[in-house]
Amino acid sequence: MGKKRVPGGNRTIRGQLVRVVLIPSVSFLLLWAIISSTGTIQASEFLLSMREGSDSIAATRGLAAELREERRLSQIRLGDPTRDGARTTLAEQRESTDAALDTVLDHVAVLESDEDGEVRRNAQNLQDAPDDLETLRGKVGTEGISRDEALTEYTSLVERTQLLTESLLRILDDGEGLSASVLSRDLITAREQFSRAEALLVGAIAAGKMNYQETAHFTYLTASYRDTLTASESAMSGELRQQYTRMRNSGAWQEAERLSRTVVTRPPVTQPDVPGDPAEWNSEINVGHAEWSEATQSAGAAFGDLVTTQVERAIDIGWDAAVRRITLSAVGCLLTLVAGSVAIVVAMRSAGRITDRLRRLRGETLSLSGTRLPGIVARAQGGKRVDITEELPHLSYGDDEIGQVADAFNTAQRTALGAAVKQAEIRKGANRVFLGIAYRNQTLVQRQLRTLEEIDHNETDPAVLERLLHLEHLVTRSRRYADNLIILGGSQSTQRWRRPLELGEVLRAAVAETEDCERVQLVSAHRAWLRGTAVADIVHLIAELVENATQFSPQDAPVSINCGPVLGGIAVDVEDRGLGMTEQGYAAAQRTLDEAPEFDVMALPDEPRLGLFVVARLAARHDTAVRLCPSPYGGTRATVIIPDELLEPEFEERALSSAPENSRLSATR
């Protein structure tokens, strides 16, 4: 069935709250989510790329420097294999190169998944660097490669490393960072050309000659880095230009430039010793190893410092861009928060009157239902007179929807309280009926017991005495049933026992008050004394459990009673061999025993077990625990824990005649 549309639904409280609160709130949340998520994600990604990029740039530049030094030493090794210390120095340098390569490979493992395609490709190109480097070293070690080939292959490794450096610099581009990263790449290239020229010449010096191709290559390299530096000078910042000027005017740089020009400008050919013979290429080099190495090492270090300064400047610009993005994102989020907050404040002020009234209505309703109403119901159940009109205040909230809700609460609470008062009156009347019937029955039972006792004393026929004993047993059970009514009615049993009684006698008395008592076996009874004030109730409690055991077990099945000390008291187990109960049945019965509910004649089930109510009342009266569980024999085991507070120190055995005059325990017969 479809939901019926209520007329005027657009003017309900819910509709007002949707219009004044939900719409601006949702708009604020959407705007906040779009701006904050987009800006934060982009800023975070750029910041992460900056961090990884700067670390990777430092690692690749370190590897490039180590490869250049190994290239230079390899040129010396190939130029003069017999040179003292060449092998040892080269081996030590290779270890440094390997360490730098391991560091770069760690970064490559991360950069292979980078979103930038060029970075990813250049990182993947370095994966084979260890194998290529190892192969190249083997050739150098066996002198199975020329100096020119070794120079080319080492240069290839350096260039692969620098390509990754340059691609990382490129992703730092952001406005001003674009020119900074371009200048950094140009200086890195010039530095590599300078190092290559240095290695080429040092190898030629070690070999003692320099052929035409090597001279041409050297000339190209020296001209290239000079041209690059000259072209880049205009793009340099003021501080970097000053550093470049200091490098160019330094003695080492000037010496390196002079030596390189000496090599380039030497006479190309030598005159033949015999006139008419063809001229030969001038392979002699008028530059010594010591002077060239000293000048280029110092100048190369200054050149490297120049490149480092520029690369760090490019990274700083990238970091500034990342911080700027984070700042803009934070400012955008803050502005969104302010705008959304203003919208929420305006909306909440518009809805404030409605929500305030709803809160007041809720508070007053909770106060009535949580504090005043339970107190009124408790007084009604306690037998006190309750005036509903005076006890319950009237909630007045006008004639709109909130007022209508308040009127509904008034009606519901008055109806509920009226029903509770009526139920209390019915329960009180039922209790009075119970008690009246029970006390009349008790009077008759007591008269019957006195009459039977008189007949018993005057009778000598064994057959008649046996029948009198059976009749007295039935009357004793009737007395217990009458006591049940008194207990359920909220009063106490008429049975009284003032003096302590041995626990075994208590158990026998309980057995004697049950039907089929001949089926009950008292297996063990711990020697202990029960306080006189608890004797009658404990006898009654155990009798109810024993009777349940005999009623819900086969006629030929025994019921056993065991008794023994436990922590905190004495445990009495009543165990039958019947069908038992389901888990739900045990749980429901245990709840009744634990909670000692009010006995409500109007709420009894189709098959009431009044004994459980009686046991629960008696157990609660003496703080005695009763537990039900399945028996290993298939039936039910009821365990009663009699606390130490109900026990007395051992007394001298008393005669049963010490029982009160108005009643004798059935077990004494």
For the segment 54-69, what is each residue's pLDDT rounded down to a tens digit? 788 888 888 889 999 9
**According to the model, what pLDDT value does residue 655 have?**
39
Specify if 632 maps to a domain.
yes
Specify if 36 maps to a domain.
no
- pLDDT band per the 50, 70, 90 thresholds, residue 301: very high
In this prediction, residues 204-221 reach a mean pLDDT of 90
- Asked whether the whole model's pTM tops 0.95, one would answer no
Evaluate whether 528 touches 570 at the Cβ level (below 8 Å): yes
**According to the model, what pLDDT value does residue 196 have?**
92
Q: 82 or 529: which carries more pLDDT confidence?
A: 529
- pLDDT band per the 50, 70, 90 thresholds, residue 261: very high
**According to the model, what pLDDT value does residue 667 have?**
37
**According to the model, what pLDDT value does residue 532 have?**
86
Q: Please check the confidence at residue 176 and state whether its pLDDT lies above 60.
A: no
Q: Please check the confidence at residue 600 and state whether its pLDDT lies above 60.
A: no
Q: What is d(CA 385, CA 388) in angstroms, rounded to the nearest whole number?
A: 10
Evaluate whether 532 touches 607 at the Cβ level (below 8 Å): no
Q: In sequence order, what are the residues at sequence separation of 6 or more whose Cβ sits closer than 8 angstroms to the Cβ of residue 163?
A: 122, 125
For the segment 443-488, what is each residue's pLDDT rounded down to a tens digit? 666 676 677 677 777 767 777 767 766 676 676 666 666 666 666 6
Could you say which DSSP state residue 578 is in?
S
- pLDDT band per the 50, 70, 90 thresholds, residue 111: confident
Q: Please check the confidence at residue 309 and state whether its pLDDT lies above 80.
A: yes
Q: In sequence order, what are the residues at sequence separation of 6 or more whose Cβ sits closer than 8 angstroms to the Cβ of residue 524?
A: 562, 563, 564
In this prediction, residues 233-240 reach a mean pLDDT of 88
- pLDDT band per the 50, 70, 90 thresholds, residue 563: very high
Q: What is d(CA 418, CA 377) in angstroms, rounded to the nearest whole number?
A: 9
Least confident of 133-137, 254-258, 604-608: 604-608
Q: Please check the confidence at residue 279 and state whether its pLDDT lies above 50.
A: yes
Domain span at residue 527? 501-668
- pLDDT band per the 50, 70, 90 thresholds, residue 285: confident
Residue % of the chain over a pLDDT of 90: 18
Evaluate whether 583 touches 603 at the Cβ level (below 8 Å): no
**According to the model, what pLDDT value does residue 652 have?**
44
Residues facing 627 on adjacent strands: 639
Q: Please check the confidence at residue 160 and state whether its pLDDT lies above 70.
A: yes
Q: Please check the confidence at residue 318 and state whether its pLDDT lies above 90.
A: no
Q: Coil, strand or helix: which one is 635? A: coil
In this prediction, residues 161-190 reach a mean pLDDT of 78
DSSP 500-524: -EEHHHHHHHHHHTSTTGGGEEE--
Specify if 585 maps to a domain.
yes
Specify if 659 maps to a domain.
yes
For the segment 87-96, what is each residue's pLDDT rounded down to a tens digit? 888 889 999 9
Q: Please check the confidence at residue 533 and state whether its pLDDT lies above 80.
A: yes
Specify if 481 maps to a domain.
no
**According to the model, what pLDDT value does residue 526 have?**
86
| Helical packing angle, 176-207 and 23-79, nearest 10° | 10
Specify if 423 maps to a domain.
no
**According to the model, what pLDDT value does residue 165 have?**
83
Q: Please check the confidence at residue 307 and state whether its pLDDT lies above 70.
A: yes
What CATH number does residue 517 fall under?
3.30.565.10
* Listed residue (17, 377, 322) closest to 172, CA to CA: 322
**According to the model, what pLDDT value does residue 164 have?**
85
Q: What is d(CA 40, CA 315) in angstroms, rounded to the nearest whole number?
A: 21
Least confident of 125-129, 338-342, 421-425, 660-664: 660-664
- pLDDT band per the 50, 70, 90 thresholds, residue 601: very low
- pLDDT band per the 50, 70, 90 thresholds, residue 15: low
* Listed residue (637, 625, 646) closest to 506, CA to CA: 646
Specify if 59 maps to a domain.
yes
Number of domains in the chain: 2
Instruction: For the beta carbon of residue 189, count every other beta carbon within 10 angstroms.
Output: 18
Q: Please check the confidence at residue 656 and state whether its pLDDT lies above 70.
A: no
Q: What is d(CA 451, CA 444) in angstroms, rounded to the nearest whole number?
A: 10
Q: 315 or 186: which carries more pLDDT confidence?
A: 186
For the segment 496-517, what is each residue's pLDDT rounded down to a tens digit? 677 898 988 999 988 888 877 8
**According to the model, what pLDDT value does residue 399 have?**
76
Could you say which DSSP state residue 602 is in?
G
First to last CA, the chain: 73
Residue % of the chain over a pLDDT of 70: 71
Which amino acid does the sequence have at 133?
L
Q: Please check the confidence at residue 492 and state whether its pLDDT lies above 50.
A: yes
Instruction: For the beta carbon of residue 254, count every other beta carbon within 10 angstroms.
Output: 13
Q: What is d(CA 635, CA 637) in angstroms, rounded to the nearest whole number?
A: 7
Q: 30 or 104: which carries more pLDDT confidence?
A: 104
507-523 per-residue burial string, b: 16 or more CB within 10 A, e: under 16: bbbbbbbbeebebbeee
In this prediction, residues 628-639 reach a mean pLDDT of 89
Q: Coil, strand or helix: which one is 355? A: helix
Query: For residues 361, 366, 368 and 374, what is the CA-based torsion angle, rounded to 10 degrees?
Result: 170
Mean pLDDT of the chain: 78
In this prediction, residues 347-376 reach a mean pLDDT of 72
Q: Please check the confidence at residue 562 and state whether its pLDDT lies above 80.
A: yes
Q: Please check the confidence at residue 6 and state whether its pLDDT lies above 80.
A: no
**According to the model, what pLDDT value does residue 491 have?**
64
Q: What is d(CA 112, CA 101) in angstroms, rounded to the nearest whole number?
A: 16
**According to the model, what pLDDT value does residue 117 have?**
74
Q: In sequence order, what are the residues at sequence separation of 6 or more whose Cβ sits closer than 8 angstroms to the Cβ of residue 148?
A: 213, 214
Evaluate whether 289 touches 243 at the Cβ level (below 8 Å): no
Specify if 101 maps to a domain.
yes
